[in-house]
Amino acid sequence: MGMGGALMYILAIDTSTDAVVAGVAALRGADATGEVLAERQVTDGRRHAEILTSLVGETLDEARVARSQLDAVVVGCGPGPFTGLRVGMATGAAFGDALGVPVHGVCSLDAIAAAQMSQTSASSLLVVTDARRREIYWATYDQGRRTAGPAVAPPGEVVADLADMPIDVVVGSPTHAGLFDRPVGAASVPSVVGLVTVARADLSGSMPPAALVPLYLRRPDAVEPKRRRPADPQRQELAR
């Protein structure tokens, strides 16, 4: 990619899937082009918190970029399972707060779509990722613009609903992408290229980023127990 204009160093993070993704990119704000300096993707859906900090350190070292040199953070906001997703978002927010740099949240499905669009001529895309509970997260795109979603539903329901929709390529979870009887693309998880591409306009602009909002799309598995109502003294007296 070409370089020219003011140089920015961007930390990109995503934990919306079973893959923990971290990397560093150099972005030229004047012409909105960038270069990935280092990237790590480790698939381990149960150890997001343990892995992420190490991956961030490794990629900063490989890119030869000090934490104090970072100009912004881009973090995937899902959709994704509650526990894994909040690890990446909390880490991104912590880096931004500690370094005093903006943190830009992006839809993780948009990042997968952007990465695929950077390496293919396909005009229409379907992105699907594993939502667990026998469901998938999905979104459709045309000419790089999201046209439906993000949403969550059983795979069979999505297959039926999109049966007549023109879709050139399906990307994301390979297990679920193969259900749609369409060509399957290479992009499977959010990448540094995808994350930074989606945030490119915000990174190059002067407006402060919007607040980070996680895209859970459904209630978390763990919920607080309902509080027991206090006993009614009058009923207790009548029961005696």
What contacts 133, CB < 8 A, 6 or more positions away?
Answer: none
Q: What gap in Å lies between CA 3 and CA 33, rounded to an integer?
A: 7
| Spatial distance between the Cα atoms of 179 and 170, rounded to a whole number of angstroms | 9
pLDDT of residue 98: 97
Give the pLDDT score at 94. Answer: 97
> What pLDDT is stored for residue 197 in this prediction?
94
pLDDT exceeds cutoff 70 at 96: yes
3 state SS of 139: strand
| Cis ω before 79 (30° cut-off from 0) | yes
What Cα–Cα distance (Å) separates residue 119 from each residue in 78, 97, 139? 22, 34, 19
pLDDT at 101 over 50: yes
Mean pLDDT lowest among 42-46, 162-166, 226-230: 226-230
Q: Please tell me the predicted confidence (pLDDT) of residue 204.
A: 83
CB 215 within 8 A of CB 79: yes
pLDDT of 4 over the 50 cut: no
Provide the 10 A C-beta neighbour count for residue 31.
Answer: 13
Weakest-pLDDT range from 11-25, 70-84, 200-214: 200-214
Q: How far apart are CA 212 and CA 195, in angstroms?
A: 14
Mean pLDDT of the chain: 89
The whole-number pLDDT of residue 229 equals 55
- The structural domains of the chain, ordered by start, are 7-107+191-204 (3.30.420.40), 110-180 (3.30.420.40)
Question: DSSP for 23-45?
Answer: EEEEEETTTTEEEEEEEEEEE-T
Task: Tell me which residue of 139, 124, 141, 158 sits closest to 78, measured CA to CA.
Answer: 139
In tens, the pLDDT along 40-51 reads: 999 986 788 889
What pLDDT sits at residue 205? 81
Q: Which of 25-29, 90-94, 140-144 has the lowest mean pLDDT?
A: 25-29
Residue 126 has pLDDT above 60, yes or no: yes
pTM of the entire predicted model: 0.87
d(CA 107, CA 158): 19
CA distance 92 to 23: 12
Instruction: Report the pLDDT value the prediction gives residue 3, as an integer from 0 to 100.
Output: 42
| pLDDT tens digits for range 102-121 | 999 999 999 999 999 988 87
Mean pLDDT of 114-130: 91
- Tell whether the model's pLDDT for residue 179 goes beyond 90: yes
Strands 19-28 and 145-153: unpaired
Backbone angles phi, psi at 83, to 5 degrees: -65, -50
pLDDT at 149: 96
